Structures are given as C-alpha cells and as structure tokens.
C-alpha cells in the first residue's frame, strides 16, 4: 500500500463559509479531535491566510496569534499548518510571529500565474529550516504546461512540495490525471491536490490525483470549505484505503465527528 498524507484545512478553508468567525473553542475542540484521530496536518486561520483579517477581505473573530496558539496547544502529534499569500502577509509582521507560535508547515500560495511572488517567503522559510510548501491557486485557469512551469519556479525557490488547487472546482478527472502526471514527471518534490466540489467530483478527482502520484491530499470534515466545499474527509479516507492507499487516520473517529456535525446541522 502507498502512503497518502491528508492535510485538513477545515479550520482555514472552512472559515470562508462562516465569514471567518470560527471560535477559539471550536478550534480547540476540532484540534483535539484531529490529533486524537491521527490526522497528519491541520491547517488553521482566516480563509485567506495569515494577515488577511481586514474590513476589505473580512474580519476574523480572533487574531492570527490567538488562533495559532490555541491550535498549537491542542495539537500534540498532528502538524500545524498555515496558508500565507505574499502581499497579504509579510515576513516580519506575520511569518516570524507564526514561527514563534510553533507553526510546522507554511503553505505559500499565489495565483497560478504568479509563482515568482513566492520567492522571498519560500527562501526565507527554507533558510530558517522551516517546512515550506508552494501552492498554486485557481490552477484550472492556465494550461498544463504553464502550470508545470509555475510549479518548477516554486521548486527552484526551495519549496519542499507543491500543491495545486482546483479553486474553481472545474477539473474533470482527465484534467487531474494529465496535470498530476506532468508535475510528477517534471518535479522532484512531492505533489499535492486540493479539490473543490462544484461538480460533485472532489472525491473522484482526489483519488485520481493519488493514483497518478500525488501524496498530499486536502480534505475537510463534511466537505467544510469555501463555495461548494472541499473533498469530504469522511468519504476520501475509505475510498483511498479501498484503493490500496494508507492514510494512518482512525476512520471510526472521523465518521463519528462527521456524524456529530451533520446531526447538529452546523459545522463549527
């Protein structure tokens, strides 16, 4: 069986769907669940990442540092991850304080045509021996070849993985196959995939991504995410494991958490 790393952005992408109002008590509770269920990576924060809380983008209920400290306190085994868009976040104001809070993984994200904007942030984190991944958002808007070129730029800067986001939720399985295969063939670092469920294909597309070499798959409890939502965590785990992929996650605990959220009719 091949190993798949599940990264759970319920507390970040899901924040979009509640206008960035997830409470510290909900963060505490969910992190305790995720850590107990052995989810490898938990991503937290404003929907648009570090430094994004503003009147223009949307005010968070709590500041970044309080969110990160709460998550860090309750994640004993799972890695703590943050989303960071250069220009919205800065190294001195946002990245350094997040490092001090104990963030394990920084996902430096740009529009799919603007990988060059990630240079300063990726190089800074790499120099300081902090795990850093590159993220290409809205990746359906460019050709497969250009996506490969943009991913290679992030790899050159020092990204230890590149995640492509189907932010528009418009990928067909054939698109995922083509793009993941091209990235696997042309990059020497791990590839990840972040699906949205606009066409009801998030689980199928995530499985295809894994079958063609992606080893990081994003998934949220009950699909809790922006727009039409993300890949549901409670669905992708059994689908992956029935197709000879190992996640290491306690599925019984995940399905209980999903059922509890459905029964209450309100995630977070």
**Per residue of the chain (268 residues), what is the pLDDT tens digit?**
799 999 999 999 999 999 999 999 999 999 999 999 999 999 999 999 999 999 999 999 999 999 999 999 999 999 999 999 999 999 999 999 999 999 999 999 999 999 999 999 999 999 999 999 999 999 999 999 999 999 999 999 999 999 999 999 999 999 999 999 999 999 999 999 999 999 999 999 999 999 999 999 999 999 999 999 999 999 999 999 999 999 999 999 999 999 988 766 555 6
Q: Residue 267 has what pLDDT? A: 58
Neighbours of 243 (CB within 10 A): 13
Per-residue pLDDT of 83-103, as tens digits, reads: 999 999 999 999 999 999 999
**Model pTM?**
0.96
Cα 4 to its chain centre, rounded Å, is 14
Q: Which two structure tokens, joined as six digits, stand for 78?
A: 């799972």
Number of H helices, E strands in the chain: 10, 10
Residue 164 tokens read as 């492509």
Question: Is 16 a known active-site residue?
Answer: yes
- Rounded to whole angstroms, how far apart are CA atoms 160 and 168? 25
Q: Which residues of 145-165 are buried (b: 16+ CB within 10 A; e: fewer)?
A: eebbebbbbbbebbbbbbbbb
What is the pLDDT, as a whole number, of residue 268? 64
DSSP letter assigned to residue 113 = T
For the record, the structure tokens of 28 come out as 């505490």
Domain 2-262 annotated CATH 3.30.230.10: no
For 177-212, write each residue's pLDDT tens digit. Answer: 999 999 999 999 999 999 999 999 999 999 999 999
């Amino acid at each position: 069986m091949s190993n798949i790393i599940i990264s759970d952005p319920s507390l970040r992408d899901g924040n979009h769907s509640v206008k960035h109002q997830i409470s510290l008590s909900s963060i505490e509770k969910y992190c305790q669940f995720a850590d107990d269920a052995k989810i490898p990576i938990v991503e937290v924060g404003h929907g648009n990442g570090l430094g994004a809380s503003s009147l223009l983008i949307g005010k968070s209920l709590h500041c970044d540092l309080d969110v990160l400290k709460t998550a860090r306190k309750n994640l004993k085994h799972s890695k703590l991850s943050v989303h960071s868009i250069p220009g919205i976040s800065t190294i001195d104001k946002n990245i350094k304080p997040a490092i001090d809070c104990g963030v394990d993984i920084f996902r430096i994200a740009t529009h799919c045509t603007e990988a060059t904007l990630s240079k300063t942030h990726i190089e800074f984190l790499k120099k300081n021996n902090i795990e850093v991944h590159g993220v290409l958002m809205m990746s359906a808007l460019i050709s497969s070849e250009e996506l490969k070129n943009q991913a290679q730029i992030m790899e050159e800067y020092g990204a230890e993985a590149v995640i492509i986001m189907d932010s528009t939720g418009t990928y067909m399985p054939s698109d995922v196959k083509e793009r993941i295969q091209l990235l696997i063939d042309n990059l020497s670092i791990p590839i990840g995939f972040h699906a949205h469920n606009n066409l009801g294909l998030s689980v199928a597309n995530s499985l295809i991504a894994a079958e063609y070499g992606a080893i990081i798959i994003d998934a949220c409890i009950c699909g809790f995410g922006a727009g039409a939502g993300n890949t549901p965590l409670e669905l992708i785990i059994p689908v992956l494991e029935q197709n000879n992929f190992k996640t290491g996650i306690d599925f019984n605990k995940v399905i209980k958490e999903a059922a509890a959220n459905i029964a209450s009719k309100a995630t977070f």
